[in-house]
Amino acid sequence: MEEMRYLTFALGKGRLADKTLEMFERIGITCEEMKDKKTRRLIFVNEALKLRFFLAKGPDVPTYVEYGAADIGVVGKDTILEEGRNIYEVLDLQFGKCRMCICGPESAAELLQHHELIRVATKYPHIAKDYFYNKKHQTVEIIKLNGSIELAPIVGLSEVICDIVETGSTLRENGLSVLEEVCPLSARMVVNQVSMKMEQERITKLISDLKKIVNQ
């Protein structure tokens, strides 16, 4: 019999990976090596199940999966939308729930209604562009930032921001509010398009096992 090939998983570093591993444990997939927080190793193997795992920066996960360097990835919907890669999104894992929103001071609400040419600061230029140009038909200037987006309207870099809101406390503590909701977000499982065909049996089994415990 032909030897089983490794299925490779790319996980977004941080909370997302921790949550994913917790979920995998509940369906009998473990990776003890990965729990050692001090390790500098980049790739972890479960020999018995023929699985390999690696941690990558969130925005790089869809890239690894599109090129087939990973068969499967777990990443936020925000990253999937922003990266626009050719991959299959197969399952909503129902954790890491938050929302992509247009936020700003209350006074900016009318700028959104009157379709004014405003500046939008964001870490997600593609999502912001799609929202304003294709959904709202409003011409805006998008300014790409890399973090602490809430600063932009406070210091006058932009009128509004397009950013992730989870608890809303960053907004509240900085005198900003949600003005419009772009879309709900959560962690998703993504699959390489060729792997989906070549490893259909193993991947389908994994998806159905995960489906049973999602939301529990």
Number of residues that bind ligand PRP (CB under 6 A): 13
Task: Judge contact between 12 and 74, C-beta under 8 A.
Answer: yes
Three-class secondary structure of residue 109 per DSSP: helix
Least distance (Å) between residue 77 CB and ligand PRP? 14
Instruction: Give the span between the Cα atoms of 30 and 171, in whole angstroms.
Output: 38
Q: Is 155 in the site for ligand PRP (CB under 6 A)?
A: no
Of 44 and 124, the one with the shorter C-beta distance to ligand PRP is 124
**Binding segment (CB under 6 A) for ligand PRP, from list 56-64, 67-75, 78-86, 143-151:** 143-151
Least distance (Å) between residue 38 CB and ligand PRP? 24
Starting at the edge strand found earlier in the chain, the sheet holding 141-144 runs: 141-144, 119-122, 160-165, 98-104, 177-185
- Residue 87 tokens, joined: 């991959």
Least distance (Å) between residue 69 CB and ligand PRP? 25
Instruction: Give the span between the Cα atoms of 123 and 150, in whole angstroms.
Output: 11
Instruction: Give the span between the Cα atoms of 74 and 8, in whole angstroms.
Output: 11
Q: According to CB under 6 A, which residues from 163 to 182 bind ligand PRP?
A: 163-170
Write the binding mask 107 to 126 for ligand PRP: x where contact by CB under 6 A, - elsewhere.
----------------x---
Q: Give, in order, the Cα–Cα distances in Å from 61 to each of 146, 167, 194.
A: 18, 25, 16
Three-class secondary structure of residue 158 per DSSP: coil
Least distance (Å) between residue 115 CB and ligand PRP? 26
Q: Is 149 in the site for ligand PRP (CB under 6 A)?
A: yes
DSSP for residue 108: G
Among 47, 134, 137, 147, binds ligand PRP (CB under 6 A): 147
Q: Is 59 in the site for ligand PRP (CB under 6 A)?
A: no
- Residues of this chain that interact with ligand PRP (CB under 6 A) are 123, 147-150, 163-170
